[in-house]
Structure 1
Amino acid sequence: MNAKKQAAKSGKPGKRAGPVEASRLTRDDWLDAAFRAVVEGGFDKARVLMIADALGVTRGSFYWHFTDHAELISALLARWVARELALDKQLRAEATSDPRADLERLLEAALAHGGPDLENIRFELALRGLGRRDPTVAQMLVEVDEARMGLFAQKFQRLTGDPKKASELAALFYLAIVGSNQALSRPVNPPQVSEYLMGIISTYLIHQQAPAPASPARRRSGPKAA
């Protein structure tokens, strides 16, 4: 019998979970519940007993899947990072013939609000709060931020053809998204707020950065006849 099951059956904190209860929940069920707890109240709410109550099981069920609370949080963060990096990789590979349309698609995805999108925004805001006091989390966020900045710079490079300008626009683009997500994280937000923010970011950071169309070259006239 593995250590986790021994912990569950030995009465390690909380009541012992029965076999039906323990087998009913998966590791991802616990991670999903922890994610929802963070969305609702930050990482202080992602406690084993509180999550068990939300799932309607005893705390002993937890030890079938995790050694302790630290392993739960570590797994939750690792899953979030893996999903974010996979999304960035997918978006990097996707490109149309119009770099402006590609950037607008990134912007729309980043500022989508409501339902799961709002939950993702709130989770990341809570995670960034945790990163201010936890160096390990801070380093993890650096990895995600660098991947996103690389993605944005690649898209702006296609738009402007200027590596330096692309890097600077990518930084401004990311700052605009982070600030917008702060505004959109409120429980009640009229849809037009998201539309307004997307409109001004798109206007100033995407459309006004596209190179002006080249004017038709003048036809060179041949030497005038004497």
Structure 2
Amino acid sequence: MNTKPILHRDDPKAAPLVGNIKVTRDDWLNVAMDVLISDGVDQIKVLNLAERMAVSRSSFYWYFKSRQELLDALLARWQATNTAGLIRQAEAAAPTITAAVCNVHRCVVNTALFDTALDFAVRDWARKSGKVRRILDQSDAKRLKALHAMFARYGYSEIEAETRARVLYYMQIGYDLAQLNEPMETRISMVPHYLYVFTGVEPKPQEVEEFSAYSQHHWAGAET
């Protein structure tokens, strides 16, 4: 008689049923995110993802009850990466408002803090889904609230803090969406001028130098 216990899906000791290749929940999420960015939400299909990983699609159901559960997990990851990342940078301690804006702009050059391609993919998805549109609107509102609070911490009036938060946020969205074929040197050379426009304050040379070095490091890493 076989006395070996039967392991159910919810048992943490159970192993995924994926034939000779083991994949994790994160593997499914990662490939789904790649498809979302490159091909759009309509191409996120269980069979399509399984073929990309060369595994049986039955293994998908070890981690997700349905395609919708996977899509919800993608949105949760986007929130945890982009929305939480931007808010964290806006709330970071800084001696001046220009240094604070530099903290926020680290999101522009470091995909570990903010994935611009993923953000655009979610915005495209929102055009097809009322649910995603509502989540996106809520996320944008949280980001703007954090930027408003950032300016307010440095003595800006409520209306000026709101206006500058909107200019900073919407300008960056439009800038990235334009996908300018702009040399890194050109973009970095504009940093002190952008900081002045965003804040009305001349940045300190050290702040510009530190942000420029940070940008060069991360952009160089992205190109390798």
TM-score above 0.5: yes
Specify which of 89, 96, 115 is matched with residue 120 of structure 1. Answer: 115
Post-superposition shift, 1:133? 2.4
Counterpart of 2:44 in structure 1 is 46
CA distance in 1 between partners of 2:55 and 2:68 (Å): 20
Conservation of the 8 A alpha-carbon contact between 2:36 and 2:43: yes
The question of whether the paired residues in 2 share the 8 Å contact of 1:37 and 1:45 is answered with yes
Map of 1:28 onto structure 2: 26
Number of the residue aligned with 1:222: none
- Correspondence 1:204 to 2:187: no
Q: Is the CA contact (8 Å cut-off) linking 2:93 and 2:100 kept in structure 1?
A: yes
Q: In the alignment, residue 41 of structure 2 is paired with which amino acid?
A: F
Structure 1 residues not aligned, in runs of 5+: 6-16, 211-226
Question: How far apart in 1 are the matches of 2:150 and 2:30?
Answer: 32
Distance, in Å, in 1 between the alignment partners of 2:95 and 2:114 is: 32
CA RMSD of aligned residues (A): 2.9
Deviations 1:185-214 (A, max 9, x none): x7x7632464366455323112x257xxxx
Q: Percent identity?
A: 25
1:179 aligns with 2:180: no
Aligned-pair CA distance for 1:102: 0.9
184, 187, 198: which one aligns with 1:191: 184
Residues 15-63 of structure 1 deviation map (CA, whole Å, 9 limit, x = unaligned): xx54553xx2111110011111112222233222221122121212211
- Report what 1:110 is aligned to: 107
1:153-203, Cα deviation, whole Å (9 max, x unpaired): 11222344311101111111111011011123x7x7632464366455323
**Contact kept? 2:78, 2:119, Cα under 8 Å:** no
Cα deviation for residue 121 of structure 1 reads 1.3
Q: What residue number does 2:4 align with?
A: none
Match of residue 152, structure 2, among 157, 164, 169 = 157
- TM-score (ref. length: structure 1): 0.72
Change (3 A) 1:144 1:137: same
Q: What aligned pairs does 1:127-142 form with structure 2 within 5 A after superposition?
A: 127-142=122-137
Conserved in 2, the CA contact under 8 Å of 1:159 and 1:209? no
5+ long unaligned stretches in structure 2: 1-6, 12-16, 203-224
Q: TM-score, normalised by structure 2?
A: 0.73
Counterpart CA distance in 2 for 1:44 and 1:198 is 38
Task: Provide the residue aligned with 1:90 in structure 2.
Answer: 88
CA distance in 2, matches of 1:18, 1:75: 21
1:70 positional shift: 1.5
